[in-house]
Structure 1
Amino acid sequence: MLTALGASFRLYEHPGVVDPVEVCAALGVPLERTVKTLAFVTPEDRLLLAALPGHARLRYGPLARAAGIRRGDLSPADAGRLARAGMRPGGVCPVSSDGAALVVFDETVGGLGRVHCGSGRPDSSIEIDAGALVAAVPAAVMARIGDVPTASEPAREPV
């Protein structure tokens, strides 16, 4: 999909790992240079993708508000739901072939520079300019959905 949109990116293959720390080790990049995407489904079976810096913790309440649903209506997307969107667990990407998917980016993502994110598969990742990643999803919502550690705080384990 990124190719069809004319986005410049680089695809990296690596062992099929789903833990963000293992992905970073395989790629040789720090967690702060990644964008993780968490997948949920709404009560109407709409795919909801939350993209935030890899070292941030997701704030579920703000995500639900940005998506226009109640926090209690957030359910993790299972492998079957991800497959319908052309993705597999461990490789979720904010750019989806599911045209009805709602994508919410943390407001800090666009300014992260070159980042690595999921490709849709757990055995490959994409390196892309974060601004181009956000631009690839023109209907995306921007909101403060991540709790990003400051320079004086230690990085937290990803959720």
Structure 2
Amino acid sequence: MNAPAPASPSELLTALGTAHRLHEHPGVTTPVEVCAVLGVPLSETVKTLAFVLPDDRLLLAAMPGHARVRYGPLARAAGVRRPDLTPADAARLARAGLQPGGVSPVVDEPDAVVVFDESVLGMGRIHCGGGRADTSIEIRSADLIAAVAKATTAQIAELPDASAD
């Protein structure tokens, strides 16, 4: 007997009663294109990078869309060594009901490790992955973090220097 398909991030948020809005953007998948269609700057998005830990759990790292991940702090926040961070491939993401380009920190895997950069909490209304490359979720950042039962926050992102413009 096959296991049921994992719930999508939007379905999980709906089940929790968390206010959000799902945006579909067929054929538009790159961050720049998605931001143009949604009418938001990259700095008002949250990207989620997915890794597989040695015990096959997902590690999801959520940070502002214009930030870069700091691997050492991410590994420490997840309680693993830096070499234990292996990027999740499409097959592993599919088992969680996610597609590359649509990774969300809200996932139907109770054992997933989810680490938000601490800057996300104060971002206000954001857009994040909706599970598929052609969908995005609009949600308040505090609601997004609250929707992830075991979420942790840490300084895992390197934000661009605003004065460098």
Q: Is the CA contact (8 Å cut-off) linking 1:15 and 1:26 kept in structure 2?
A: no
Q: Is the CA contact (8 Å cut-off) linking 1:16 and 1:124 kept in structure 2?
A: no
RMSD between superposed Cα atoms in Å: 1.1
Report what 2:58 is aligned to. Answer: 47
Matched position secondary structure for 1:108: helix
Q: Which structure's residues are more often helix, by fraction?
A: 2
Q: How does 1:1-159 map to 2 (within 5 A)?
A: 1-154=12-165
In structure 2, what residue type is equivalent to 1:9? H
Higher Cα Rg, which structure: 2
Superposition deviation, residue 114 in structure 1? 0.3
Superposition deviation, residue 14 in structure 1? 0.3
Listed as ranges, the gaps of 5+ residues in structure 1 are 155-159
Measure the CA separation in 2 of the matches of 1:89 and 1:16. 14
Q: What count of residue pairs does the alignment treat as equivalent?
A: 154
Percent identical: 68
Superposition deviation, residue 20 in structure 1? 1.5
Superposition deviation, residue 26 in structure 1? 2.2
Matched position secondary structure for 2:48: strand
Listed as ranges, the gaps of 5+ residues in structure 2 are 1-11
Per the normalisation by structure 2, the TM-score is 0.90
Matched position secondary structure for 1:142: strand
Q: Is the CA contact (8 Å cut-off) linking 1:18 and 1:89 kept in structure 2?
A: no
| Structure 1 runs, 4 residues or longer, greater than 4 Å off | none
Q: Is the CA contact (8 Å cut-off) linking 1:17 and 1:90 kept in structure 2?
A: no
Measure the CA separation in 2 of the matches of 1:44 and 1:24. 35
